[in-house]
Structure 1
Amino acid sequence: MDALRGYGELGLGSRLKRVSEYMMRETQLVYNYFNIDFDPYLFPIFKIITNKKGVTNSEIQSSLQFSQPAITQALNKLNLKGLIVYKNDDLDKRKKIIFLSKKGQQMLNTLKPIWKSIDLVIKDYTLEASSSLIEHLNTLENKLNTTSFSDTIIHHIKMNNTTTQDIEIITYQNKYAQTFYDLNIEWLQTYFYVEAYDEEVLSQPEKYIINKGGHIFFALLNNKIVGTVALMPIGDEGLFELTKMAVSPNHRGFKIGQQLMQHCIDFAKNTIGLPKLILYSNRKLENAIYIYRKYGFIELPLEPDTPYKRSDIKMELVF
């Protein structure tokens, strides 16, 4: 028996808190599923900042009526994630104006379709009429207990996107050089940072990949490039690295990266006859590491002179 339901109106505050915590956890699962590094508890303050062209701390407090410590804590987290920037007011240098950073704008573009699906799912969950708030809450919790909120949202997002069956894998053309650069830079800025080696290779893909016998592939959807990956020669022993994989923020979570990786594996094994592939990654990308292992990659000792500072794991797939 649900004790809180038995308390009737006396338990309203506790029940609202329970629903809130449940939905926050489920929303976090949605973000995690689509590899979005965002905390649902930051949503109200982040949304206020996205709605205004510059906002002060006091304006946020007035709009949300949150406590000042809660706002300060959220702003500190947003700042640490690089999603906001502070600028001095033109008239009062003591006043700080808060804006979205470039990374924050990218995050907003990534989150918008997620928020749209969340909004529609919640509306669907709360459409039924009721005679009291408690009755409405009973209906909502019944639905939440019957069907996973996060699963429903994920399914909704997928159903509102073109199926991956329409993805076409194409080879490199010079006209796609900028797209190759942009996709990878966005991914690096979202999850890590751009190293000098990244900038050098990504800005000259023909010099460092194509002209050395390497290959670059793109995922094409509705005549638009939505993902990329490369097979890059390294060293003088005929070794190839599976690298530079990136998917457009609006198309993550639909296994486009896995399609690109499978294409690379098939191409390396069956078309050019490579004996193996290697890759470098970072252990914080738990979902990616899981997928690499699923495809047969095994961990190798990481050499001290790895080309990427962010790499803390090296993996190999032997055919």
Structure 2
Amino acid sequence: MDALRGYGELGLGSRLKRVSEFMMKETQLVYNHFNIDFDPYLFPIFKIIANKNGVTNSEIQNSLKFSQPAITQALNKLNDKGLIIYKGDKLDKRKKIISLSEKGKKTLTQLKPLWKSIDEVIKEYTLEKSSSLIEHLNSLENKFNKKSFSNTIIENVKMEVKQDIDIVLYKEEYATHFYDLNVEWLKTYFYVEPYDKEVLNNPEKYIINKGGHIFFARLNKQVVGTVALMPIGEDGLYELTKMAVSPKHRGHKIGQQLMQFCIDYAKSMGLPKLILYSNRKLENAIYIYRKYGFIELEIESNSPYKRSDIKMELIF
């Protein structure tokens, strides 16, 4: 049993400290994996110095609201690692201007892609809504326990440096990927409805031959994701649908690349808008749809999908 969880709000300070220490330890594992000699506890002060073209000790304290001893200790560690240099102020010789050294600038270049991935992973871990901070902490720690935080970041970094995703149009040889990717996704989150099975088994009949389009994301020539623009009715309306990404490639924004490609393609076709159907329990997906400009509509009573409880529209 987790005693701290049992304390509720009374143990909030201890819970935050535990989360902080855990994230620092996991971040250190990421730095070690990429052979970067850096301490995650030094991040805030190093970042302030990197963002400024010379900064004083007092300016660091005013920016971060850290205690002076904590700042001095961090600066000493950065200096010992050779990451910063001190210069006298031209107007006030009592002031010391702190800047990155050449080694510091090189280290910053190495750290930036890691910080980008850390930021993306934390956003992914903390997107869902909750009614209290304690509930949010419970969810966050559950995710930490489910999959290694450091490994998730490392995988994200490696994905970023791999060959770029290329997106290609439907070919008959990709039909099995269209079926398999979507069925796997549906079984993971919901179930395969008869309408799904009919469309997935006959993509040319229901999508391609009606003027629709199916796209595939490939990584190193391997299909890792798919999405479709499917005509609905006779009014020239298209649904953005059947989006699925391979389980081992999720969390690397492949779905967002497919989404942007579809939007750009729909605009090039001269479409006035796109619609989609989803479910509110897919909070990350709904967040991304809103991010791309989709707004919620009233869903019809005879929605084509039983699992759908939200309909969204993007007007160009």
Query: Normalising by the residue count of structure 2, what TM-score does the alignment of the two structures yield?
Result: 0.55
1:219 matched residue in structure 2: 217
Residues 42 and 293 from structure 1, CA distance in 2 versus in 1: closer, same or farther, beyond 3 angstroms? closer
Deviation string 1:140-188 (CA, Å, 9 cap, x unpaired) is xxxxxxxxxx4x4442221233547610000000000011000000000
Pick aligned residue for 1:156 from 142, 154, 157: 154
Alpha-carbon distance between aligned partners in 2 of 1:198 and 1:163, rounded to the nearest angstrom:
35
C-alpha displacement at 1:34, in angstroms?
A: 11
Alpha-carbon distance between aligned partners in 2 of 1:31 and 1:203, rounded to the nearest angstrom:
36
Alignment of 1:60-209 (within 5 A): 114=147, 118=148, 150=149, 152-161=150-159, 163=161, 166-209=164-207
Pick aligned residue for 2:294 from 274, 282, 297: 297
1:239 matched residue in structure 2: 237
C-alpha displacement at 1:315, in angstroms?
A: 0.4
1:253 matched residue in structure 2: 251
Answer yes or no: is 1:313 the counterpart of 2:310. Answer: yes
Residues 205 and 22 from structure 1, CA distance in 2 versus in 1: closer, same or farther, beyond 3 angstroms? farther
Residues matched between the structures, number: 199
- Root mean square deviation, CA, Å: 3.5
Question: Unpaired segments of 5 or more residues in structure 2?
Answer: 1-13, 27-120, 128-138
Amino acid at match of 1:183: L
Query: Normalising by the residue count of structure 1, what TM-score does the alignment of the two structures yield?
Result: 0.55
Pick aligned residue for 2:280 from 280, 283, 291: 283
Deviation string 1:216-274 (CA, Å, 9 cap, x unpaired) is 0000111100000000001111100000000000000010000001000000002x110
* % identity of equivalent residues: 64
Task: Work out which of the two has the higher radius of gyration on C-alpha atoms and give 1 or 2.
Answer: 2
Amino acid at match of 2:188: T
For the residue of structure 2 that corresponds to 1:254, the secondary structure is coil
C-alpha displacement at 1:286, in angstroms?
A: 0.7
For the residue of structure 2 that corresponds to 1:217, the secondary structure is strand
- Alpha-carbon contact 1:164-1:256 (below 8 Å) kept: no
C-alpha displacement at 1:191, in angstroms?
A: 0.7
- Alpha-carbon contact 1:30-1:153 (below 8 Å) kept: no
Residues 31 and 183 from structure 1, CA distance in 2 versus in 1: closer, same or farther, beyond 3 angstroms? farther
Amino acid at match of 1:251: H
For the residue of structure 1 that corresponds to 2:159, the secondary structure is coil
Alpha-carbon distance between aligned partners in 1 of 2:126 and 2:215, rounded to the nearest angstrom:
22
For the residue of structure 1 that corresponds to 2:226, the secondary structure is strand
Amino acid at match of 1:274: L
